[in-house]
Amino acid sequence: MGSRGTIAYGETRRARLAGPLLAVAVLVVGVAVTLRTVGALHEDQRAAAARVMDQRTAVARAAVTAETGRYRDLMQAVAAGLGTNTHLTARDFAAATAPLDTAGLVGATSVAFLVATPTGDIEETERFWRSRGADGLTLQPRGTPDVHLFSIFQRTLNDSAPADSGLDVAAAPEGAAALLEARRTGRPTVSDAYVLLRDRTVPLVRRQLSFIFVAPVFAAPDADDELPRFQGWVAMGLRGQDFLGGVLGTASQGLLDGELYAIDGGGRRLKVASYDAPGRRDLVRQATFPVADRQWTLLTGADSHRLPGARNGTPATVLLGGTLLTIMLAILVWVLATGRSRARAQVLVATAELRSAEAESRRQAGLLGAIMASLGDGVGVVDENGAFLLHNPAAKALLGVPFDATSPGEWQEHYGIYRPDGRTPFPLAEMPLVRGLRGEVSDGVEMMIRNEQRPDGILLSVDGRPLDPSAGQHGAVAVFHDITALRRYENDLAVFAGVVAHDLKAPLAVIRGHCETAADELADAPESRETAEVGAALRRIMSAVDRMAALIDTLLAYTTSRDAPLKLRAVPLGPLVAEVVAQRTEHLRPGAGPPPDVYVGPLPEVRADPAMLRHVLDNLIGNALKYVPRGRAARIDVTAGPADEGWTRVEVADRGIGIPAEDKPAIFESFHRARTAEGYAGTGLGLAICRRIVERHGGTIGVADNPGGGTRFHFTLPVATAAPAGDEEALDRALAERAEAEAVAQPAVAGTARPPAIRPPCVEAPPAGPGTPAAAGPLAGPPVIRPAVAAATPRRTPGAGPAGTA
C-alpha cells in the first residue's frame, strides 16, 4: 500500500509538472516565431518608408525649384517688358505688373521698380519721376552712400500691407548687393536672406527672413550707343517662412517637415524658414539646388508611420494574432494536461465558498431576526395563501395574541379587528394584507384591536404592500403601529383649541364693547384736539381687537379643518357661491367706487361637507376681492369643468396682483405670504386651510397664472352622483363611526365644524341651469352680476377658457 501510494503520488506530481512545462514550451516557441515574422515585416516597411520618403523629397525639391525658377522668369519677363518702353511711366509699370496679381506667387510681398541716384541728384530724380506718374513720391535717403537705390513704382501682392514709396534699398546691404550684382552681370539675381525694410517695423515675433529677386531693366540702345542703356531694376520681395509653408505644405500634402537654408555671399549657411508637419521625425533627407546665383538647401523630415503606403497594420495584426493564438494553444495544452487536478481544486474552492455562503446566510438571518425583534413597529408577512410567515415580537405585543391564525377568514375573530368605532367588524376585503395579496398598496388604514388581552382596545395605523418579487414567492407585508396616544393627543388638542378660542374671544368682545361705548359717548362731547386723539386711539384699539378675533377664528378653522369629522352630503355649488358673494359684498356702498365684475358659469352639485366647502370658497373669493391694485375693480370668474371620472374641477380666476413664480410652490404652506401681498391684511393660513379641506375630500388644489394677468386657483371635488349607492353607504357609515368615536373624546368641539350663518344670496338665482350667478367686488360699489344662461354669450377675455374665465 505504501509503495502504491508513493507511485501514485509521484505520478500525480509528474502530471502536475508536465502540464505547465509543456504549456511554457508551446508559449516560447509561438512567441519566437511571431516575433521573427513581425521583425521581417517591419524591415519591409522601413524599406518602403525610405522609398516613399525619397519620392516625397524629390517632389518637394522639384516644387521649390520650379517655384523659384518661375519667380526669376517672371521678374526677367517684367524687366524685358519695361525695357521696351523708353518713356516709362507709372501707368506702364502698372500694366506690365498686372498679371502678377493672379500668378499665385506664394510668399511674395510686392514688386517694385528701382533706380540709382547720386546724392546730389535726389531732388531732380524726385521731380522727374513725379512727372512720370509717381504722384506723391518722396525719396527717403538713408545713410551717406555714393549712390542711393530708391523704389519709384510699386505693386503690392497677396494682400500685403503697402510699403512707402521712395524707400532707399541702399540701407539694406543684402538688397543693395543683389541690385549691383544684377547690373554688373545683366542677369537676374537673388539676395542673401535678410529682414525686408518694410518688415522692420512689425513685432519681433512676426518678422521673417526674406529675399528679393532682382532683374535689371535695359532699354534698347540709342542710335549713338552700341550697348543697351541701363534704366533700373525690377525687384520682388519674398518672405521665406510664407514661401516654404505654402509650397512645401501643398507639395507634401502636410506630410513632410521642412527647413530651408541659404548660402550667403560669405559662404555661411543660414536657416531661413521651417515648416512643421504632424508626427515625429524619424526619416530625414537633404537636397541642394541653385536659385539664380545662389545655392539653397532643403532639409526634409517625416514620420514614417504617416507616409501613405509606407506603414500598415500588418505587423501589429500578426503580432496580436500570433500572440493570441500562442496563448490559446498554451492554455489548451495546460487545460488538457492539468484538467483533473484543476477540477479537484475547483471542487475544493466551490465547497469552501458554499460553506462561507452558508455561514453568511446564517449571519444575515440572525441579523434580520435581531432587527425584527428590535423594531418598535409591528411587522407581519403572509404567503400567497394568507398563512403568516413572520410576526415580529412588537406585532404580537400590539395584537395581544401569542398564536397566529391559520387562514385569513379567522383574522377578524382571532385578533379582534374592528373599525375605529370599536364595534363594527373590519371587512376582510379591506384589510391591508388582503389588499396587498391583490397587488394593491394601502397607507394609514386605521383599525381597532380589542380582544381578551386588549379589553380596552388600541387604535392601529396599518400600511400594506405586495411582497417584493426578489423574495421568490408571492405574498404581502404589513407594518402597523399604535396611534392610540396620538389620537388622544389630537382630540385633547382640538378640545383645548376650542376652549382657548372661546376664552380668548370673550375678553375681546368685552374690550370692543367698552370701546364702542366710549366712542358713542365721545361723539356727544365737544370737538377738540383731545377728543380727536382719544377717538383715534379707540379706533386703533377696535381695529386691533378685530384683527385678533379674525386670527383666533383662522387658527380655530386651521385646527378643525384637519380634525373635525366630515359631514358629507350633496351640495349645489351655485347657491353656495351666491351666499359667499352676498356676505362678501353686502357692506359695499353704491357709488363708492368701481363695482366688481363677476362671472359665474354653470356649477354642478358635489358631494362635500357644506361648512368646510363654504370656507374654501370664502377664502378664494375673498382673496380675489382683496388682492386687487388700488383703485381698480375686481374681475372674478367662477367656473367648473370635468376632471377624472366622477370628479369636477372648480376654478376661481381673478385679475388681481398675481403671485410670483418663486412663491407658488410654498403658497399653500402655513403662515406663508407672497411678497406681492405686502400692504394687504392677512395671516398666511387661509390657503393652508383650503388645502387641508380639499385633501380631506380626496381632491387636489393648485394655482397658476391667469392669461392676461392675475391668478387662477383650481381644486377638484367628487360629483354628487359619482359614487355607487353601496360605496356611499359604506363611506357614510365609516365617517359616522369615526365621528361618534371622536365625539366621545372631544364633546367641547363637537360643533366646531358647524357652518356659519347663511344670509340670502346677493342676487336672485336664475330660473333654470345647473349654476347660480354670484357677485363679488373689491371694497366699493355693488357688484356687476353676470348669470350663466344657455342663450347668453359670456364675457370673453384674452386667454380666457371656454367658460369665460377672467
Per-residue pLDDT reduced to its tens digit, 375-396? 778 898 988 888 888 888 888 8
Which residues are CB-neighbours of 36 under 8 A, at least 6 positions away?
Answer: none
Q: How far apart are CA 103 and CA 735, in angstroms?
A: 100
At what angle are helices 573-585 and 610-626 packed, to 10 degrees? 50
Q: How far apart are CA 718 and CA 721, in angstroms?
A: 8
Which residues are CB-neighbours of 797 under 8 A, at least 6 positions away?
Answer: 635, 708, 804, 805, 806
Asked if pLDDT for residue 52 goes beyond 90, the answer is: no
What does the pLDDT read at residue 719? Answer: 93
End-to-end CA distance of the chain: 107
What does the pLDDT read at residue 803? Answer: 36
- Give Cα separations from 627 to 92, 311, 658 (angstroms): 88, 81, 8
User: Comparing 502 with 566, which gets the higher pLDDT?
Assistant: 566
- Give Cα separations from 192 to 40, 358, 468 (angstroms): 48, 91, 89
What does the pLDDT read at residue 16? Answer: 63
What does the pLDDT read at residue 718? Answer: 93
What is the enclosing helix (H) or strand (E) of 110?
A: strand 108-118
Per-residue pLDDT reduced to its tens digit, 671-714? 666 656 665 656 667 788 898 889 888 899 999 988 878 899 99
Mean per-residue pLDDT of the chain:
78
Q: What is the mean pLDDT of residues 362-377?
A: 80
Asked if pLDDT for residue 355 goes beyond 80, the answer is: yes
Locate cell 359619482: which residue? 722
Beta strands in 516-612 (DSSP E): 569-572, 597-600, 605-608
Range with top average pLDDT, 523-527, 561-565, 579-583: 579-583
Asked if pLDDT for residue 751 goes beyond 50, the answer is: no
Per-residue pLDDT reduced to its tens digit, 98-122? 998 888 899 899 999 999 999 888 8
Percentage of the chain exceeding pLDDT 70: 80
Q: How far apart are CA 578 and CA 762, in angstroms?
A: 6
Per-residue pLDDT reduced to its tens digit, 449-475? 998 888 888 889 899 989 888 777 888
Q: How far apart are CA 743 and CA 762, in angstroms?
A: 36
Which residues are CB-neighbours of 651 under 8 A, at least 6 positions away?
Answer: 637, 638, 639, 640, 641, 712, 713, 714, 801, 803, 805
Return the amino acid letter for 407. S
Nearest CA to 615 out of 669, 562, 670 is that of: 562
pTM of the predicted model over 0.75: no
Percentage of the chain exceeding pLDDT 90: 14
Q: How far apart are CA 718 and CA 696, in angstroms?
A: 12
Asked if pLDDT for residue 573 goes beyond 70, the answer is: yes
At what angle are helices 484-524 and 529-563 packed, to 10 degrees? 160
pLDDT band at 773 (very low <50, low <70, confident <90, very high): very low
What does the pLDDT read at residue 716? Answer: 95
pLDDT band at 537 (very low <50, low <70, confident <90, very high): confident
What does the pLDDT read at residue 113? Answer: 93
pLDDT band at 502 (very low <50, low <70, confident <90, very high): low
What is the number of other CB atoms lying within 10 angstroms of the CB of residue 470?
5
Cell triple for 643 = 376632471
Q: What is the mean pLDDT of residues 18-26?
A: 78
User: Comparing 96 with 471, which gets the higher pLDDT?
Assistant: 96
What does the pLDDT read at residue 310? Answer: 67
